[in-house]
Chain A
Amino acid sequence: MPATPLIAYAHVGKSFDDGRVVAVDDVSLDVAEGEFLAVVGGSGSGKTTLLRLANRLIEADRGRIAVEGEDVSRIDPILLRRRIGYVFQSGGLFPHLTVADNVGITPKLLGWPQAEISARVDELLDLVRLDRAQHRDRLPHELSGGQRQRVGVARALAAKPRIVLMDEPFGALDPLTRDALGDDYRTLHRELALTTVMITHDMTEALLLADRVAVMRGGKLLALGTPAELAANTDAYVGELLRTPRRQAERLGALLPRDGTA
């Protein structure tokens, strides 16, 4: 594993409702620079809480979280969030702001000059493959779900963060759009040398996009590794999660032979 991890969780815990609900239970996890990590789990597994602890949308009860080597509890949470990109489930765009204003929001909060923001917005719309002229001044409700999520990604990248956190970013999209967006993002991740943590409940998506996959259940980190390492894991739940993509791959392989007409 290269150098110091960009995000490091050490024995982190978080509970809600005066300790009655344990969302994250003693999780230790390092995310290396340039790595694409997917966190997989069912609802209530604590995966979203784990993600939000990193930019202090949620405060940890126990343990230590470091981002770029700094203990997050010592960083002003507002400034911390401005330097970490965050992609929300189904976009989370501001409905009263245009695409350009949505994308340029974090640079604006950081006090960039207007001309610089404007140039950055154009650059980002190109990056996420949205036509500038056509989309710049539209409001979110005038966009399709896929376009909204592209704007969401552009907004997360606007202030040139090194880290991007994604909360089930492609979950609400139709399969084709989802696939295209996933591929496009994977390219961006590589070209911009980002470090990405993505939450998903879809193991197939996680395996296809991520370098490593973390499996969570009941607030605990159950397994962590490359797809190949996961395949060797003996845990029953991990096996169950892998069964679906395996079966799909087998059936698709049978249905769509390489030398076929498809």
Chain B
Amino acid sequence: MSDPRWSEALAHLPDYLGNHVRVSVAALALGLLISLPLAIIARNRPVLRGTLLGVASIVQTVPGLALLALFYPLLLALTALTATWLGFSFSAFGFLPAVLALALYSMLPVLRNTITGLSGVDPAVLEAAQGVGMTPRQSLTMVELPLALPVMMAGIRTAAVWVIGTATLSTPIGQTSLGNYIFAGLQTQNWVFVLFGCFAAAVLALVVDQLLALIENGLRNRRRVRTALGGLGIAALIAATLVPAIARPQARYVVGAKTFTEQYVLSALMAQRLQAAGLSTATRAGLGSNVIFDALAAGDIDVYVDYSGTLWANQFHHTDIKPRAELLSELKTTLAKQDITLFGELGFENAYALVMPKKRADQLGIHSIADLASRAATMSIAGDYEFFSRPEWAGIQKAYGLTFRAQRQMQPDFMYAAVASGEVDVIAGYTSDGLIAKYDLVALADDRHAIPPYDAIVLLSPKRRDDEVLKAALRPLLGRIGIAEMREANLRASGNDASSSPDAVARWLWEKVGPR
């Protein structure tokens, strides 16, 4: 426990846990609000019942992460519509898509158990309800629902546990949750964070499940005290998570970060600079590559670091590759059309590069991608989750006529170890990654310029276009971070010890590059 990472994890707990509880409770409440009436309406309608259960089952088979990711563009399109036609827009980022996706996810167990519970009521009892003069509604509320309650509550408990577990996946769409520990920990190899996040989510799920069990027990055995205690527990949990949100002033500046180590370090560095300038700042880390740009354009985040080549190829779909300066200036004009400010370059480039062990490359006489082409047919290549679907990969393949025997997708931090151990022959690594030096790897030369330049650039949201305080706080970083410093920072951040947290590494980096 002397490890400072535990105390750092604890320091984040009120924020992460609070957000996690809020999004889970809202999603569960919405899910119940939709599925309970639906189940009641469908109980005597076999066709509707079958359709509902079918749809809910299909939703359940969609992986949680994909479902969450789908809601973001959906809402983005919707908010564009409401802005045009109804004159208002809403944030398609974070809370709303997370709540909607999780609510949808919670529906199956509630629907299924409510329908099963209601149809399991003894027909003789229903007849008696009719016989003593109950209206259909009275029969439902006084007889059917109370009798179906145990089965229904079991479904609600299952839904609660699912929602709380799946809510950890809402981090990449901008909703802070206990998943922040897991995503950050996985990227920066901080296992303390990963464990802490898993443990906290499990404990929360267990507590909510037991509180619901208490309510169920109280309702079933007509013990008002138990029902009240359970309800009070849930209410207390919600209240406790609302207090920090009320007490803490809303951060004015939000720094975004994508899902890899360098981004965690750079966002921490920018957040530190903003705070040093007296600006209240929050970080939204672990955002998906496609989510983050839209989030900036919509003003959900204020500033983040992207890479020129990534925007060029992925965001603006260019297939041609231009020289560095030309590409940057053209990018600047294109971004300005969306009212986004390309504030400046940090000084280093984080390009994709084909990387292999130095020793093996020397043995085989491979120094450039062109040299690799003749041997590629017998080799395997690994890349991150997006590389093989990126236009750069198509460009490289076309320029050099590359075809590999096999291609695999991997967690970026594991690729380097994999290629060093011979698990794969070549990887699509990042030039700023410190692991290239650590594992004695070499980046192959791109003589035909198939890979575009990837200058790290700071982007500002539309509403920060003329924010001189913000600009003054970040200006000292521009042009100051060289490839050597970034590599070392990344290497430090990928370590698994106390000094490897993004915050600590960011402070170290500032020591190195800041004005003396």
**Residues of A that sit less than 8 Å from B by CB:** 55, 57, 78-79, 81-82, 86, 88-90, 92-96, 105-106, 109-110, 155
Q: Is the CB of B129 within 8 A of A78?
A: no
Measured CB to CB, the closest approach of chain A to B454, in angstroms, equals 67
Mask for B116-152, Cβ within 8 A of A = 1, else 0? Answer: 0000001011011111111100100011001100000
Complex Cα–Cα for A110 and B135 (A): 12
- Give chain A residues whose Cβ lies under 8 Å from the Cβ of B135: 78
Closest A residue to B125 by CB, please name it.
A94
- Give chain B residues whose Cβ lies under 8 Å from the Cβ of A57: 127, 130-131
Q: Is the CB of A88 within 8 A of B146?
A: no
Interface residues of B in 96-128 (CB under 8 A from A): 122, 124-125, 127-128
Measured CB to CB, the closest approach of chain B to A142, in angstroms, equals 13
**Residues of B that sit less than 8 Å from A by CB:** 122, 124-125, 127-135, 138, 142-143, 146-147
| Listed A/B pairs (26) with beta-carbon separation below 8 Å | A57-B127, A57-B130, A78-B133, A78-B134, A78-B135, A79-B133, A81-B130, A81-B132, A82-B132, A82-B133, A86-B132, A88-B127, A89-B124, A90-B124, A92-B124, A92-B127, A92-B128, A92-B131, A93-B128, A94-B125, A95-B122, A95-B147, A106-B132, A106-B133, A109-B133, A109-B134
Closest A residue to B133 by CB, please name it.
A82
Closest A residue to B131 by CB, please name it.
A86
Q: Is the CB of B125 within 8 A of A95?
A: yes
Complex Cα–Cα for A140 and B134 (A): 19
- Give chain B residues whose Cβ lies under 8 Å from the Cβ of A81: 130-133
- Give chain B residues whose Cβ lies under 8 Å from the Cβ of A96: 143, 146-147
Complex Cα–Cα for A88 and B127 (A): 9
Complex Cα–Cα for A78 and B138 (A): 11
Complex Cα–Cα for A103 and B244 (A): 51
Closest B residue to A93 by CB, please name it.
B128
Q: For A88, give its contact among B131, B134, B138, B142 (CB under 8 Å).
A: B131
Complex Cα–Cα for A50 and B143 (A): 26
B interface: dominant SS: helix
Closest A residue to B219 by CB, please name it.
A96
Complex Cα–Cα for A1 and B500 (A): 102
Q: Is the CB of B131 within 8 A of A55?
A: yes
Q: Which of A81, A93, A96, A110 is the most central at the interface, judged by chain B CB atoms within 10 Å of its CB?
A: A96
Q: For A109, give its contact among B122, B124, B127, B132 (CB under 8 Å).
A: B132
Measured CB to CB, the closest approach of chain B to A8, in angstroms, equals 21
Measured CB to CB, the closest approach of chain B to A239, in angstroms, equals 34
Complex Cα–Cα for A94 and B138 (A): 13
Closest A residue to B126 by CB, please name it.
A92
Q: For A105, give its contact among B124, B125, B132 (CB under 8 Å).
A: B132
Closest A residue to B220 by CB, please name it.
A96
Complex Cα–Cα for A93 and B131 (A): 11
Q: Is the CB of B133 within 8 A of A94?
A: no
Q: Which of B127, B131, B143 is the most central at the interface, judged by chain A CB atoms within 10 Å of its CB?
A: B131
With A95-B147, A96-B147 as contacts: A88 and B124 at CB distance below 8 Å: yes
For the A-B complex with A81-B132, A95-B125, A95-B147 known, give 6 more contacts whose Cβ atoms are closer than 8 Å: A57-B130, A57-B131, A78-B135, A92-B128, A94-B142, A155-B132
Q: Is the CB of A94 within 8 A of B124?
A: no
- Give chain A residues whose Cβ lies under 8 Å from the Cβ of B132: 81-82, 86, 105-106, 109, 155
- Give chain B residues whose Cβ lies under 8 Å from the Cβ of A105: 132, 142
Complex Cα–Cα for A5 and B130 (A): 25
- Give chain B residues whose Cβ lies under 8 Å from the Cβ of A95: 122, 125, 147
- Give chain A residues whose Cβ lies under 8 Å from the Cβ of B142: 94, 105
Complex Cα–Cα for A140 and B211 (A): 29
Q: Is the CB of A109 within 8 A of B147?
A: no
- Give chain A residues whose Cβ lies under 8 Å from the Cβ of B125: 92, 94-95
- Give chain A residues whose Cβ lies under 8 Å from the Cβ of B129: 94
9 closest residue pairs by CB, A with B: A82-B133, A92-B128, A81-B133, A86-B131, A96-B146, A106-B132, A105-B132, A109-B133, A88-B128
Measured CB to CB, the closest approach of chain B to A67, in angstroms, equals 14
Complex Cα–Cα for A105 and B146 (A): 15
Complex Cα–Cα for A106 and B128 (A): 11
- Give chain B residues whose Cβ lies under 8 Å from the Cβ of A55: 131
Complex Cα–Cα for A105 and B142 (A): 10
- Give chain B residues whose Cβ lies under 8 Å from the Cβ of A109: 132-134, 138
- Give chain A residues whose Cβ lies under 8 Å from the Cβ of B134: 78, 109
Complex Cα–Cα for A82 and B125 (A): 16
Closest A residue to B124 by CB, please name it.
A92
Complex Cα–Cα for A109 and B146 (A): 17
